[in-house]
Amino acid sequence: MEALVIEGGVRLKGEVLVSGAKNAVLPIMAACLLTDGECVIRNVPDLRDVRTMLKLLDALGVDIDWRGRELRLRAKRIKEPVAPYDLVKTMRASVLVLGPLVARERFAKVSLPGGCAIGERPIDLHIKGLRQLGVEVDLEKGYVIADAKRLEGSIFAFDKVTVTGTENLIMASVMAKGETILENVAQEPEVWDLVEVLKKMGAKIEKLDVNAVRIEGVERLSGFEHEVMPDRIEAATFLIAGAMAGEEVLVRNAIKEHMVAVLTKLSECGVRMEFLPEGIKVYGCDRIKAVDMETFPYPGFPTDVQAQYMAMMCIAKGTSVITENIFERRFMHVAELRRMGADITVEGKRAVVRGVKKLKGAPVMASDLRASSSLVLAALVAEGNSKVSRIYHLDRGYEKFDEKLRKLGARIWRVKEDA
């Protein structure tokens, strides 16, 4: 295992390029299962989750050719429509093959993902939605078995907004017989990046007024070429890094329209930013103001930026209350931030963060993807050295995070865990 060693107190300066979005590329890769045509995906980030998805696609019989940022996928034939536990347990997003397999093969056997560090994370709504489309769904020995002989257009309203649930149901409907209306669908930009791909493939999808989509099933879909949108969560992470530890950092490719809630919060905190055609420039802020924040589905403040925001609130002037409304256990970073001298108390879904003048470097442990980056941000401004262990979590979703920070001047090294 690897860890990151970080020397705190160095100011960041320069520019950083945002990679393709993890949460867009994964469903787009799954969409290749809908066609026997060639699918060309560009701006593909080299992430552990992308490699896991490739393993799964490989097991399903997909031809893979990955060169640099370009990935060519071709699912001429599906070997066996099964997503095994081994792969699903390492990455919950593996469940994204369920919708496409149901649509193409009219059958799928996908392992149930189970809980994870940040909460229960059931897929009951994916299953309910499929049943509404006429799919027979059974749960057997930890697997979802979906038999879609009678896949028919229908209507379905999600009880709760779910990102991968929306994506699965849209992909299941594109080749169903007749019309489907899905309501209370997730509005995340990554969902619309996928929809754009599906339209390129020949799917008929129309966005309706009230968080709804209308899908007209078609007989078959073709291949596509697509460039993945930039990762707004990575962009937000670097903006927060710049505010906390920067002199001046240009986050290239950050799209302001995708991150208005985060940008509003940053400016309430007193962070100065410039919106440029090539990205967003952020200036280091000596007196970050403590401002309350609550996570919500898009366009609200993303749960995937909650931990990084908390790292910033740890050194802000004053007290802030952070409310996590999406995942019930997403405060695993709190105990580790405390080890660095942060003053945080948690009551249920609320964390009260009293800003301190200085954090102190310490050995800490990453518990999930975004918690990892928040610990790195805290370490950048802490006094002395920190060691963040278990960074395989970080590598799941950030491409070359340490290398990008090093280019900005950070003193950060990757070491073997026992070094």
Contacts of 79 (CB under 8 A, 6+ apart): 59, 60, 61
Residue from 8, 45, 100, 165 touching ligand UD1 (CB under 6 A): that is 165
Under the criterion CB under 6 A, does residue 51 sit at the interface with ligand UD1?
Answer: no
Residue from 26, 41, 215, 359 touching ligand UD1 (CB under 6 A): that is 26
Under the criterion CB under 6 A, does residue 157 sit at the interface with ligand UD1?
Answer: no
The size of the interface with ligand UD1 (CB under 6 A), counted in residues, is: 21
Under the criterion CB under 6 A, does residue 327 sit at the interface with ligand UD1?
Answer: yes
Residue among 323 and 385 whose Cβ is closer to ligand UD1: 323
Q: Are 399 and 46 in contact (CB under 8 A)?
A: yes
Handedness of CA 336, 393, 124, 221 (dihedral sign): positive
Q: Are 373 and 237 in contact (CB under 8 A)?
A: yes
Q: Which of the following is catalytic: 32, 39, 116, 314?
A: 116
Q: How far apart are CA 257 and CA 260, in angstroms?
A: 6
Of residues 364 through 393, those in contact with ligand UD1 by CB under 6 A are: none
Annotation says 116 is catalytic: yes
Under the criterion CB under 6 A, does residue 20 sit at the interface with ligand UD1?
Answer: no
CB atoms within 10 A of CB 162: 22
Under the criterion CB under 6 A, does residue 29 sit at the interface with ligand UD1?
Answer: no
Of residues 264 through 303, those in contact with ligand UD1 by CB under 6 A are: 303
DSSP letters spanning 283-351 = E--SSPBP--EEB-STTSB-GGGHHHHHHHHHTSBSEEEEE--S-TTTTHHHHHHHHTT-EEEEETTEE
Residue among 124 and 274 whose Cβ is closer to ligand UD1: 124
Q: Are 381 and 355 in contact (CB under 8 A)?
A: no
Question: Tokens in use for 329?
Answer: 């256990």
Under the criterion CB under 6 A, does residue 137 sit at the interface with ligand UD1?
Answer: no
Under the criterion CB under 6 A, does residue 215 sit at the interface with ligand UD1?
Answer: no
Under the criterion CB under 6 A, does residue 93 sit at the interface with ligand UD1?
Answer: yes
DSSP assigned state of 230: B
372, containing H or E segment: helix 369-381
Q: Are 261 and 228 in contact (CB under 8 A)?
A: no
Q: Tell me, residue by residue from 221 to 260, as one string, x for binding to ligand UD1 by CB under 6 A and - for no binding.
A: ----------------------------------------
Of residues 97 through 126, those in contact with ligand UD1 by CB under 6 A are: 119-126
Q: From its phi and psi, is residue 190 left (phi > 0), alpha (psi between -120 and 50) or beta?
A: alpha
Distance in Å, CB of 176 to ligand UD1, minimum: 19
Distance in Å, CB of 193 to ligand UD1, minimum: 11
CA distances from 73 to 54, 76, 84 (A): 9, 9, 20
Under the criterion CB under 6 A, does residue 349 sit at the interface with ligand UD1?
Answer: no
Distance in Å, CB of 274 to ligand UD1, minimum: 28
Residue from 103, 326, 364, 380 touching ligand UD1 (CB under 6 A): that is 326
Helix (H, G, I), strand (E, B) or coil at 255: coil
Which residues would be at the binding site for ligand UD1 (CB under 6 A)? Answer: 23, 26, 92-93, 119-126, 160, 162-165, 303-304, 326-327
Residues marked as catalytic: 116
